[in-house]
Structure 1
Amino acid sequence: MTKTPQLALAVDVGGTKVETALVRADATLVEGTRHRRPTGAGSDADQLAASVAEAIRATLAEAERAHGITATDLVGAGVGSAGPIDLDRGAVSPINLHAWRGYPLADLVAETSGLQTTLRLDGTCILLAELWAGALQGRRNAMGMIVSTGIGGGLILEGKLIAGRTGNAGHIGQVQIRTHEQAGRDLSVTLEGVASGTATVAFARSLGWTGDRGEDLARDYAEGDARAVAAVERCADAIGEAIASVCALVDLEAVAIGGGFSRVTPDLFELIRSRIDEVAPFPTICGVEVVPSALSDEGPLIGAAGLVHRADLLP
């Protein structure tokens, strides 16, 4: 009898969708098991929970129907979530999902799947994926980033994955890159507030651009629309400035960037590199490699599964 390969349930919770899949120990997805459901800032807490549970059930049902795999064949569940998170409580309070504040996401996944569950920041998962099977293999000082509805990140320093006091280390999306112009908390001055896909589309629209989505912006950028070009260049400048600041602090050798908006144009990476060279406060920073994710849009799921398959890399 053929032995079932080691398999993990991967769950990735973001600002617009939750995705689930089964992932093998060689970092490949089991065919047909990838499912998604909507999330979004307008969803209430119950709707968000239902989307997560429905996606998990759909993945498990398809695994059994098409492959004869049941939950008892799985070695665990890994969950990557937009942050901030609370590792001690297994809870999440995603900035772009307003209805969840201190929500017990790890418990929800464990109860729905019946599996032992590990939760980490989505940026930690994207870094883990790139270390395990992507563009950062063999690196000892590096950052993984995701640029999408929001911006997240994770860090490995001197060969050790960094989680921090609460599990939110590496959350580069909340690095402040603009001066506050009003008192108190202002997310518009953060990297995410300036350079996420959502923020970049909004900025283009403030210039009179009439598109609605990142795909529209990509098309118009390719056609040379001045407003689309200005918005993408602003995004790249902000990312470059943030990377240069992180490099000044922790001396990175490489940064891998994934996420849907990172593919708005092939020019984005050259624009980011140019901005780093332009603003870097000292010359050693200019040597940092900035590369696209090697895992396409599967990276977040591979990283979530890596919480199970590559637990040896976790702090």
Structure 2
Amino acid sequence: MTVLALDIGATKFAAGVVRDGVEVHDVRRVDVPPSGVWEACAGLLREVAAAAGDVSAVTAVGIGSAGPVDVRIGVINPLNIPEWKSGFAVVEAVAALFPTATVRLAIDGACLALAEFHVGALRGVANALAMTVSSGIGGGIIEDGRVVVGRTGNAGHIGHIVVPGWDVPCACGGVGCVEAVASGMSSVRWARSQGWTGDTGVQLAAAANEGDEIAVAALHRSGTALGQAIASASALLDIDTVVIGGGFAESGALLWDPLRAAVREHAGLQYLRELRVLPSRVTHGATLVGAAALARSEDLV
């Protein structure tokens, strides 16, 4: 009996074998290609399943995907994968690979929330928001100890909260979404428009910590927008804890200080006085861990 977890990210696919509850082993990754996207993903799944033993022995697959998603019909529409932007029936495709397996799908933010709740900073926390700040921005909601997925599976997709004072067009078709302002990719685009010459969020954070003025301004801009979005979401959800993970969230104090300052400025209601904003403890592979939990049991959502 073999259980697999699959992470469909904006730039990479990752897959592994689930053992010992929600632990993921034998993880393999592949870049998302500009075309032939499903072929790359399917090849990765076959490789992981074969390395675990018998492909025919796969009994369950948990999928965490960049959004939007529609869990009712098993379709994903990742904004940063053009070939799938109009919709890809991923559950049906994975089920065709592993005909005897149960296939479950959730948005990556819900998987992050599951991971944090099981093995991370949200253990023992009943009501919270988990966020991922990387090439995009997503999130998942914990309410009374379970992940809330909403009507279509997109509950907690905080990347498309509109933040005040920003008129940046978003890939979703809206304007001023926090993802369009504060994600790693968006921050790099802004910094390059100001004359910075790097290419990635990691490079941007490194430049900021070395004193590059444009990079420092980019991280301050991103942190401020993130704090505004967090304050709004926390007021709406009546939560006391927000956990933030993802590669760009590891940029350090130059991102986190303006983030926390914006939370303090905007989260002024009495019931938000105890609001905590914490870094993730599941620093790598959180979506995979959440997908593993999802593969084990659908009662978690």
Alignment TM-score > 0.5, same fold:
yes
Deviation at 1:188, TM superposition (A): 4.4
Change over 3 Å in CA distance of 1:289–1:310 after alignment to 2: farther
Matching of residues 2-151 of structure 1 within 5 Å: 8-30=3-25, 33-39=26-32, 43-44=34-35, 47-64=36-53, 70-71=54-55, 73-100=57-84, 101-114=86-99, 115-151=101-137
User: What is the alpha-carbon distance in structure 1 between the residues aligned to residue 87 and residue 194 of structure 2?
Assistant: 37
Residue 221 of structure 1 is matched in structure 2 by 208
Deviation by residue 1:225-272 (Cα, 9 ceiling, x = unmatched): 111111011111111100100111111111111111111225533432
Which consecutive unaligned segments of at least 5 residues does structure 1 have?
Answer: 1-5, 65-69
Deviation at 1:309, TM superposition (A): 2.0
Deviation by residue 1:167-197 (Cα, 9 ceiling, x = unmatched): 1111000111146869997444101101111
Deviation at 1:286, TM superposition (A): 4.0
Taking only aligned residues, the RMSD between alpha carbons, in angstroms, comes to 2.1
User: Bigger CA drift: 102-111 or 180-189?
Assistant: 180-189
User: What is the alpha-carbon distance in structure 1 between the residues aligned to residue 90 and residue 109 of structure 2?
Assistant: 16
* Aligned pairs, number: 298
Which consecutive unaligned segments of at least 5 residues does structure 2 have?
Answer: none
Deviation at 1:88, TM superposition (A): 1.6
Does the 8 Å CA contact 2:167/2:175 hold for their aligned counterparts?
A: no
Matching of residues 221-300 of structure 1 within 5 Å: 221-300=208-287
Residue 146 of structure 2 is matched in structure 1 by 160
Deviation at 1:281, TM superposition (A): 3.8
Change over 3 Å in CA distance of 1:286–1:210 after alignment to 2: farther
Deviation by residue 1:27-61 (Cα, 9 ceiling, x = unmatched): 2222xx21112226xx23xx110121011112112
User: What is the alpha-carbon distance in structure 2 between the residues aligned to residue 190 and residue 233 of structure 1?
Assistant: 17
Q: What TM-score comes out, normalization by structure 1 length?
A: 0.88
SS at match of 1:34: strand
Does the 8 Å CA contact 2:4/2:58 hold for their aligned counterparts?
A: yes
Give the letter for the 1:208 counterpart: G
